[in-house]
Amino acid sequence: MLSTSELSPRATHAMTQIKQRIVDGTWPVGSRIPTETQLCELLGVGRNTIREAVHSLVHSGVLYKRQGSGTYVLAKDELTGAINRRIAVDGFRDCVEARRAIEVEAARLAAERRTDDEAAELVELLRELERTYESTGASQTLNAHDDLVRADLALHHKIVSLSRNKLLLSLYESIHEAIWSSIRTNINVSLQTNTVPIGDMHTDHIDVVNAIMAQDPEAATEALVRTFQHFSDVAWQLAASEAGD
């Protein structure tokens, strides 16, 4: 990562102005900043200067680029950005491993123990997730993805509850905040990098629900394992990004 001292004077000035607009709320966390051309006009500098300033802020964790969509505000300052990135790498990986330990077994038990009424409820949650994918999956802001995270989490929570294992459910609910964060990170990184296409993630959900509907424990287990392999791919992407800095 370029330190401020390594930036050109113009880029340092441009970076300072961008950061000031983030701090004062002109461009809040989760919002998309103006395009490169617009920034050039706004700050009165050339494209190379803007690229240098934005590049530095991306690598410090203040901004991030979403392929084909633009550049977004991720944090108000470098310290928060660095903390978020470290938590994203370590915390995400830990949460994925914990979720896999709980949810794979829960899916197996759910396939064995679910009732017809519960199966119908699970299908409705899947449909709700599908509707949410269609309405918010391509949204242009981080905050708008919360509905998608909520629908995703509701489906996974239902699967764990269908295991009828109170301890598994208690363990799952005890890490609710970390699970929310892991799902949100998974969606955001996948959208930014196309590491795991959103459509593939939804296919995994369909496979899990179909296996539980069919009361096929082995298929349910296999589907959840695939789901968490996708999470592992995202964890690898985060770690690679961190190492590149």
pLDDT digits (tens, 9 = 90+) for 9-46: 999 999 999 999 988 889 987 788 999 999 999 999 99
Residue 16 CB: number of other CB atoms within 10 A? 12
pLDDT digits (tens, 9 = 90+) for 79-104: 666 655 655 556 778 888 889 999 99
Contacts of 147 (CB under 8 A, 6+ apart): 132, 135, 136
CA 61 to CA 64: how far, in whole Å?
7
Secondary element (H or E) of residue 41:
helix 36-43
Q: What is the mean pLDDT of residues 123-145?
A: 74
pLDDT digits (tens, 9 = 90+) for 101-126: 999 999 999 999 999 999 999 999 99
Specify the domain boundaries for CATH 1.10.10.10 within the chain.
4-73
Q: How confident is the model at residue 1 (pLDDT cuts 50, 70, 90)?
A: very low
Counting residues of the chain whose pLDDT is more than 90, the rounded percentage is: 44
Residue 141 CB: number of other CB atoms within 10 A? 15
Class of domain 4-73: mainly alpha
- Among 78, 59, 95, smallest CA distance to 186 is for 95
Q: How many CA atoms lie within 13 A of 6 on its CB side?
A: 6
Pick one of 1.10.3720.10, 1.10.10.10, 1.20.120.530, 1.10.150.530 as the CATH number of 88-244: 1.20.120.530
Determine the 3-state secondary structure of 32 from DSSP.
strand
- Under DSSP, the state recorded for 25 is T
Q: What is the mean pLDDT of residues 136-143?
A: 52
CA-based torsion, 177, 182, 185, 187: positive or negative: negative
- What is the per-residue pLDDT for 134? 79
pLDDT digits (tens, 9 = 90+) for 195-229: 555 666 788 899 999 999 999 999 999 999 988 88
Specify the domain boundaries for CATH 1.20.120.530 within the chain.
88-244
Contacts of 117 (CB under 8 A, 6+ apart): none
Q: How many CA atoms lie within 13 A of 17 on its CB side?
A: 17
